[in-house]
Amino acid sequence: MAAKEDIALTIERQAAARRLLADPLITVHSHPEDFALVQAHSDWLVRQFRRVLGYELLIADDHARLVKTGLVHTVTTPLLRDSGAPFTPRAYTYMALTLAALPDAGPRTTVAELAAGVRAAAEEAGLALDPEARLGERRAFVAGLTRLVGWGVLTETGGRLADYARDGTCEVALAVNHGIAAHLLAHIPHTATPEEFVNLVQRDSVSSDEKAAELTLRRLLAETPVVYREELSTVHRVQLARHQWRAAAELADLLGCDLEIRAEGVALIMPAEAMDDPREAVHPTTFPGKGLVSYSALVLLSRLVTMLAPPPFSHGIPIPAELLDTELAAVVDNVHQWSHTAHSHVPDPDDLAERILTLLHDSRLLDRVTTDDAPQRLTEGWRLLAAAARYRDAAFARSDAE
C-alpha cells in the first residue's frame, strides 16, 4: 500500500510541475485542479524548481507564479488572440500600458476608466496611442484585456469585452485582482532600453561558468522540444556531453519525462498519460498535439521524411521549395477530412499552411534560413531537422489507431 501511495504522490507532483512549466501563472479559477495540486505539494515544487532549473515559485492563496529567467532569445512563445493569431506589437503595447495603469485602478473598474488610464500612461511614455480612437486601436486594446482576463488579472462582472471591441459605446464592468497583477511580470524593467533589459535577463545563458552553463542546459532541455548539439556553443556542447545523463535524471524526477539522447541532440519526451490529458497537451511546443493543425503537420512531416530519407547523423537537409509546395498543398487540400477534430472552424488554406509550418518550426522539426535580399515565398528556405526522422510513420499509425 505504501508503495502505491508513493507512486501516486510522485505522479501528482510531476503533473503539477508540468502544468507550471507550460503555464507559469495559474489561478484557482483558471486551473482549479492543478492549483490544488500545486498547493498540496508546494514545498516540494518550490525546492525542486529552484534546485533543478533555478526558477522561483511563488504561491499565494489564489494563484501560483513560476518565475523563469534566462533563455529569452532561445525560448520565445508569442501570446495569441482568441482566433489563434499572434499578438501584434500594438497589442503588446496596450497590454503593457494597461498593466502600468492598473495600480491606480480600484478593485472595481470599467473598461472606459481603464482606457483613460491607458491614455495617460501612453502620454507619460511619449506614445501617441488612444485605445478609443478607432476600431483597430480598440481591438488591440481588447486583445490585451482579454489575455489579462485569461490570467485572472481582470474579471468581467458586467458586459462583455467582445461586445466592446465591436462597439466602443458598450459598457463593461471589471474586477481587478491586484495580487495577480503584481506577479504577472517576472522581471520588472529597470534599465534604460529594451535591449539592455533583455540582455540582463538573458545573461546567465551565455555564462562560461560551469555551474551556470549546466543550469542553462537543463533549462534548454526542459523548455525546448529538441536541443541539437550542432547549434550549441562550445561551452554548452561540452557540458551536455559531460552531464546529459545527470540532467536526464534530474528532469525525470521533476517532470516525469524521458530524454531521448542521440548523436544529433537530445529531445524531451513527455509521458503518454500527459500527452493524452487535454489539460496538459497545451504547451506551444507539444508535438504531436491535439487538433487540426497538429494532425496536418504530422501528416506533412511523415511525407517529407519518407520522400527525403535524411541520412543518419545529419543535422538537417534542405527541402526543395517545389516539393514543400506540392506536399503542403496536398495536406491543406485534404483538410476537410479532418474537420471533425477539436477545431470545428477550418482556417483558410493560406492561414492553415502558415500555422502548420510555424508549429513544425517551433517544435524544432523544421528550420528556415531567411535572407534579407528579397521576401521569400512561404515554402522557400526550409530544412528538415534530425528529430523529424522519428515521425516517419507516425501519421499513418495514428490514423489507424483513430
Q: In terms of residues, how long is the chain? A: 402
pLDDT over 70 for what percent of the chain?
A: 81
Q: Tell me the backbone φ, ψ of residue 373, rounded to 5 degrees.
A: -70, -45
Q: Tell me the backbone φ, ψ of residue 23, rounded to 5 degrees.
A: -130, 90
- Whether 386 has a pLDDT exceeding 70, the answer reads yes
- Is residue 279 within 8 A of residue 273, CB to CB? The reply is no
What is the sign of the dihedral through the CA atoms of 299, 300, 301 and 302? positive
Calpha distance 27→35 (Å, rounded): 6
**In sequence order, which residues have a C-beta less than 8 Å from that of residue 273 and are 6 or more positions away?**
none
- Is residue 172 within 8 A of residue 110, CB to CB? The reply is yes
pLDDT of 401 reads: 40
- Whether 397 has a pLDDT exceeding 50, the answer reads no
Which of 168-195 are b and which e, b meaning 16 or more Cβ less than 10 Å from the residue's Cβ? beeebebebbeebbbbbebeeeeeeeee
pLDDT of 351 reads: 84
Burial of 252 (0-12, 13-18, 19+ CB in 10 A): middle
Q: 3-class DSSP state for residue 223?
A: helix
- Whether 158 has a pLDDT exceeding 90, the answer reads yes
Calpha distance 155→177 (Å, rounded): 8
- Is residue 225 within 8 A of residue 285, CB to CB? The reply is yes
Residue 248 CB neighbours (<10 A): 19
Q: Tell me the backbone φ, ψ of residue 293, rounded to 5 degrees.
A: -65, -45
pLDDT of 174 reads: 95
**Minimum mean pLDDT range among 64-78, 345-359, 362-376:** 64-78
pLDDT of 72 reads: 53
H helix intervals, 203-233? 210-223
pLDDT of 345 reads: 59
From 188, 279, 265, 264, select the one nearest 220 (Cα to Cα): 265
pLDDT of 194 reads: 67
pLDDT in tens, 26-53: 999 889 999 999 999 999 999 999 999 9
pLDDT of 206 reads: 45
